[in-house]
Amino acid sequence: MPEGQLAKQYTLADNFFHAAFGGSMLNHFWLIAAATPHWPNAPASMVAQVGPDGALVKDGAVTPDGYLVNTAFPANGPHPATITNTAQLVPPLMLPTIGDRLDEHGIAWGWFSGGWNDAAAGHPDPLFQFNHQPFAYVAKYGNGTPGQAAHLHDEQDFLRAAHDNTLPAVAFVKPAGADNEHPGYADLARGQQHVADLVKAVQQSPAWADTAIIVTYDENGGFWDHVAPPTGDRWGPGTRVPTLIISPYAKKGFVDHTQYDSTSILKLIEERWGLAPLGARDAAATGLANAFDFSQVPTAASGGVPAADGGAASKPGQTQVAIDNFSFTPATLTVAAGTTVTWTNHDDVPHTVTAADKRYASGTIDTDGTFSHQFTTPGTYAYHCSIHPTMTAQIIVQ
């Protein structure tokens, strides 16, 4: 699978826990605020009830002492049109977030969400997850505010920014529902490929040279884990989730056993820019330093993505192209006329080599399979994988 390929090349944190006991909405809040939001005046119908013995009598979105822990939707942000009783919507929160800390220091940042523009315009994708947009609950980023216009964007804006080299210093990317690997309504392979495509977009950007990408989850997606969560506070940490650290400076092929949770991501941001912590949990969190080796010289992305300047073309006469981590290596190959080029698939999924002008097509190339083609006429020949169209490269024949 694509994320497995990335794990082989970079760092996999295998002792990483999502920050809070609970579901997606609560853990999204912990990702940006290291806190559980307070809703002290929630409707009684939404408040959980416990008996004298402490046992749960009735579940609800809000705890008896007024903390929002289960799914509810923002009053001043995109929310399902089916909710007509506005009392059931969460009033704008005054919750401090990592966005505030970054703004205080003039650090550019953004939250990029798949399907955001359509949702904000009132015609959301059927799988748009309103409760996965934590900044939309916060007063500063509500509908019509300068904060929302400045910082809450569509995932397509992220891809354009990567291409144009205008990414902010800190970017959170939340895939659309169909791409988020969620059990029950999303496809695992599609979601993992989406992650690989996002990573590749950054790797092909000049920003790659000094970027760290953290891939993590808000829930574990399973029923059981033999590793119990560490002892924490009232809110967590919750169960273990896989997390990848991808960077030119990430340790290569490394499994990091350091204990982390979602607030470790906040800690990384805070340490990088000298920001004050949001609360006790991120203040005490272990940063992600053990995943990096800053003594190494950064190189072009593993998998053959060119270096930030586009990468030098391969030397004439080179005849081998590797298909690895959903990329062609090298991405630009220069050969003499009459050369036969051979592609070898090192991924554990099939690919193709298909010429843009249709002059050759490999058909399906399985793992360890090869395809060869002789180039006899000078020119530039673009090609791609027809199964994974974001995989592109070119042969220059001299």
Task: Write the pLDDT tens digit of every residue in 21-71.
Answer: 999 999 999 999 999 999 999 999 999 999 999 999 999 999 999 999 999
Q: Is residue 301 part of a domain?
A: no
Mean pLDDT of the chain: 91
If pLDDT is split at 50, 70 and 90, which confidence band does 318 have? low
Asked, for residue 57, whether it belongs to a domain, the answer is yes
Q: Do 275 and 383 lie in a common domain?
A: no
For 219-242, what is each residue's pLDDT tens digit? 987 778 999 999 999 999 999 999
28 with 115, same domain: the answer is: yes
- Residue 317 to residue 127: CA distance in whole angstroms: 49
260 and 326 in a single domain? The answer is: no
**In this predicted model, what pLDDT tens digit does every residue of 339-366 receive, in sequence order?**
889 999 998 889 999 999 888 999 899 9
Q: What is the pLDDT of residues 158-172, one digit of tens each?
A: 999 999 999 999 999
* CATH number of the domain where residue 40 is located: 3.40.720
Write down which residue in 270, 291, 312 finishes a domain. 291
Residue 298 lies in a domain: no
- CATH of residue 373's domain is 2.60.40.420
What's the rounded mean pLDDT across residues 284-311?
A: 68
Within-domain flag for 357: yes
- Do 266 and 348 lie in one domain? The reply is no
Q: Are residues 90 and 207 in the same domain?
A: yes
Helix 263-273 × helix 24-33 angle, to 10°? 20
Residue 287 and residue 342 in one domain: no
Residues 266 and 382 in one domain: no
Domain-embedded: residue 314? no
- Looking at residue 331, its pLDDT comes to 86
- Specify whether 364 is located in the same domain as 226: no
CA–CA gap between residue 325 and residue 349 (Å, rounded) = 10
**Based on the structure, what is the number of domains in the chain?**
2
pLDDT of the residue at 114: 97
pLDDT of residue 315: 41
Tell me: the pLDDT tens digits for 172-184?
A: 999 999 999 988 8
Give the pLDDT of residue 310: 34
Q: 393 with 265, same domain?
A: no
Helices marked H in the chain? 2-9, 24-33, 98-104, 116-120, 146-151, 155-164, 188-203, 263-273, 280-284
Q: With respect to residue 300, please indicate whether it lies within any of the assigned structural domains.
A: no
Q: What is the pLDDT of residue 256?
A: 97
| Domain ranges, residue 388 | 320-397
CA distance 138 to 365: 49
pLDDT of residue 299: 61
Tens digit of pLDDT for each residue in 87-108?
Answer: 999 999 999 999 999 999 999 9
Q: Round to whole Å and give the CA distance between 352 and 327.
A: 11
Whether residue 149 is contained in a domain is answered as yes
* β-strand partners of 244: 12, 215
85 pLDDT above the threshold of 90: yes
- Measure the CA–CA gap between 152 and 158, rounded to whole angstroms: 11
Last residue of a domain, one of 250, 270, 291: 291
Question: Is residue 232 domain-shared with residue 369, that is, in the same domain?
Answer: no
Q: Based on the domain organization, do 285 and 350 belong to the same domain?
A: no
In a domain, 333, yes or no: yes
On whether both 281 and 331 belong to a single domain, the answer is: no
Q: What is the pLDDT of residue 316?
A: 42
Instruction: Flag whether pLDDT at 218 surpasses 60.
Output: yes
How far lies 202's CA from each of 22, 114, 136, 219, 270, in Å?
31, 16, 25, 25, 22
Question: Which of 334, 134, 371 lies closest to 362 in space, CA to CA?
Answer: 371
Indicate the pTM of the whole model.
0.77
